[in-house]
Structure 1
């Protein structure tokens, strides 16, 4: 079974995809099953991780800079398991993200370099149904990424140094998928890759080793999405809100 949606234009695997996330492990929690399936159909994927992840983890004895290095290594290893080898780390301080001009410029740079057909970003809206989705870094990154996608990356007069000094031509991302938002309208069946998704998330040991039943937690969460999307019993799904930016 493939994608299911309440609003269903053609949702085939894109030629190219950019996934923007606030922290290492956000992608594995939220969208890696979808990404794995698109890669199997030939999608070229880039991950862009905005923060260094230094405020994460549960080991109080580990220096924060060591945590940042560890989480970068975890993300790199996990992405490779999913089939992603192009990972951009922007290195912003974990827990202090704002949708600043500097961050929007850095995201525009990545967009113009990668030239993705489709992008997945955090929703800038509050989802009151899940406390994990309330992290301010997620919403700040979503806000900055949304502004970068529309209108800045496609506007030759925005961040002019990217064009004049770096030679990066404007680029329009034609389709935007929001993760962790309050109004999903697309549910992707990820049942066939669920075990790989769990394995990719387990690589983030600094963030997940304390879970007694990580697979069970994910199974329950993805089952909720599947039910909301009207998929048959026993299926597992990741949830998105699709926004057409053309």
Structure 2
């Protein structure tokens, strides 16, 4: 587990770096980014930064009442709509199977290829550790994709690890300066959530079919309570401001 640079788990969170132009967010499923990162993304795109999304799966195993061949296209449409709300136009799906993503060379290669395509300075992913805060078990898909993304940030810059990517015209990209992990129990940095919160709520609300299957609560009430609650819990470590927290790994 990575400690805060100060050595104290309750230390104030530092502002996220701002000297970058392009970011790529890599997660396992539709809605993974909307459950917490979208407010930060909205702030960044408002400032003129470019953010793209790459999803390992189309979330086809995510709704019990829908067969995968029906669910996958629906959730892909919901993800594209949710991304558009916060200013993200580029959303790609890497074609791995929902629920059984395997960490390994194929996953690393596919993420490295996405990094080479988009050439980001900042890469964002989701909690890659076994639990959420030591109390709730994480899913294998999140663990595999988060860990592979951390590794692929280096793979993308090494032409000899996946030479087939260079042969296909994807030149190495060694320009990733940070990998930011959302949902970490040991965050180090944060982004103010309030400027982008309304769009974050609307972004999550675009996952209407998924939310309807998930909860009987009014969807807007559910989304607003979840997102404002998560951001508010970070405020004590960010000067009293609700925030989206990240564990930042410099490269």
Fold match (TM-score > 0.5): yes
What is the Cα-based RMSD across aligned positions, in Å? Answer: 1.9
Deviates further, 17-26 or 183-192: 183-192
Indicate yes or no: 2:202 matched with 1:193: no
Deviations 1:36-83 (A, max 9, x none): 10111111111001112011125x2x2221111100000011111111
Match of residue 49 from structure 2: 43
Indicate yes or no: 2:239 matched with 1:231: yes
Deviations 1:89-135 (A, max 9, x none): 11211110111211111111111111101110123223442766712
Q: For residue 199 of structure 1, report the CA deviation from its aligned partner.
A: 0.7
Q: Are residues 75 and 167 of structure 1, via their aligned partners in 2, closer, same or farther at CA, if it must alter by over 3 Å? A: same
Q: Are residues 10 and 180 of structure 1, via their aligned partners in 2, closer, same or farther at CA, if it must alter by over 3 Å? A: closer
Q: For residue 8 of structure 1, report the CA deviation from its aligned partner.
A: 4.0
Indicate yes or no: 2:183 matched with 1:180: yes
SS of the residue corresponding to residue 26 of structure 2 reads strand
Structure 1 gap ranges (5+): none
Give TM-score scaled by structure 1 length: 0.88
Q: When the two structures are aligned, how many residues end up with a matched partner?
A: 234
Match of residue 81 from structure 2: 77
Indicate yes or no: 2:92 matched with 1:88: yes
In 2: Cα distance, 1:195 partner to 1:9 partner: 21
1:23 aligned to 12, 29, 47, which one? 29
**Which structure 2 residues correspond to residues 1-246 of structure 1 after superposition, within 5 A?**
6=12, 8=14, 11-12=17-18, 14-58=20-64, 60=65, 62-129=66-133, 134-150=138-154, 152-163=155-166, 165-172=167-174, 173-209=176-212, 210=215, 211-212=217-218, 213-214=221-222, 215-227=224-236, 229-232=237-240, 235-245=241-251
Structure 2 gap ranges (5+): 1-10
Give TM-score scaled by structure 2 length: 0.87
SS of the residue corresponding to residue 182 of structure 1 reads coil
